[in-house]
Structure 1
Amino acid sequence: MPTLKDIMTRDLTTTDPRATLKEVATLMREQDIGNVLIMDGETLRGIITDRDIVVRAVAYGHDLGSVASDYATGSVFTLDAGTDVQDAARQMAQRQVRRLPVTENSQVVGIVSLGDLATRTSGGADEQALQGISQPTI
């Protein structure tokens, strides 16, 4: 059974907690990605997505010079690299998480997206669990 370590992306794009929304958006454009991890040294402080920038900042007319970490999701849910892919899919669905930082020895070593679970596993992860990530909670 594959683990998160087998499918995670190891090439992480990170920024420090003082980066601006514009700086983060520029990183996203340059790297062709939709999320950036906010790190304080080796400590994960948050994750910000392109959607966070649009919905939490731009839609309200906030200045692009604002500190990005103010718009990020803090207390980020992570899983250990040794976690079984099926278990990860279920936990992501339960928490409505589309991007999952992966850790080893409490250090962020990779990231797994919903798409990774669907495409990088033989036969895909638990389809029912993956569908649950996109469903509104009632």
Structure 2
Amino acid sequence: MTRTVSAFMTPHPTVVEVTDTLHAVAQTMATQDVGSLVVAEDGAVVGIVTDRDLVVRGLAQGIGLDAPVGQLATGDVVTVGPDDDVDEVVRLMRERAVRRVPVVDGDQAVGIVSIGDLAVDLDPDSALADISEAPPND
């Protein structure tokens, strides 16, 4: 039986536009208690940005809070479709050394799947699964 990405993804990811400021993006992450956001240009997925990107590629490099998130977002983003086989997303994550993959229908984000999402279901006894299911630190 084929397991599809839709069974593992988090639906309705928050999408920000490439022109949104780093300040606005950081506030969105804080408000929603998430560490990554899908980045789009005119609604089409073009990248992903993480809290680590904001710190290491932004703050540490002296990039101001008014800079557009497109300046820091990881481009050349790998995406999958909701009906793709979950083994394919695992292969892509390994091959591309990524922890999160936007799920798209056409060029629109419909979900995001993380290595933690996969661990919870595919390797429930792993430390990553335990950490992924734990409540967030406050």
* Deviation for aligned residue 1:28: 0.3
Paired residue type of 1:72: A
- The share of aligned pairs that are identical, in percent, is 40
Structure 2 unaligned spans of 5+: 127-138
* Deviation for aligned residue 1:113: 0.6
TM-score (norm 2): 0.82
Q: Counterparts of 2:72 and 2:4 in 1: how far apart (Å)? A: 31
Paired residue type of 1:36: L
Structural mapping, 1:76-91, within 5 Å: 76-91=77-92
* Deviation for aligned residue 1:105: 3.5
Q: Counterparts of 1:62 and 1:40 in 2: how far apart (Å)? A: 21
* Deviation for aligned residue 1:104: 2.4
Give runs of ≥4 in structure 1 deviating > 3 Å: none
Over residues 109-130 of structure 1, what are the superposed CA-to-partner deviations in whole Å (9 max), with x where a residue is unaligned? 11001100101x2x439x8xxx
State whether residues 45 and 107 of structure 2, in contact with CA within 8 Å, keep that contact through their aligned partners in structure 1: no
- For these two proteins, the number of residue pairs brought into alignment is 124
1:124 aligns with 2:123: yes
1:33 aligns with 2:34: yes
Higher mean Cα deviation, 24-33 or 14-23? Answer: 14-23
The residue that corresponds to 2:103 in the other structure is 102
1:61 aligns with 2:82: no
Q: Counterparts of 1:111 and 1:86 in 2: how far apart (Å)? A: 15
User: Matched residue of 2:10: which SS?
Assistant: coil
Paired residue type of 2:93: M
The residue that corresponds to 1:133 in the other structure is none
> Relative to 1, partners in 2 of residues 1:45 and 1:105: Cα closer, same or farther, differing over 3 Å?
closer
Paired residue type of 1:24: V
Q: Counterparts of 1:106 and 1:54 in 2: how far apart (Å)? A: 28
Paired residue type of 2:7: D
* Deviation for aligned residue 1:46: 1.6
Q: Counterparts of 2:68 and 2:42 in 1: how far apart (Å)? A: 17
Cα-Cα RMSD: 1.7
Over residues 81-116 of structure 1, what are the superposed CA-to-partner deviations in whole Å (9 max), with x where a residue is unaligned? 112222211221111011101122343211001100
The residue that corresponds to 1:14 in the other structure is 15
Q: Counterparts of 2:65 and 2:21 in 1: how far apart (Å)? A: 7
The residue that corresponds to 2:74 in the other structure is 73
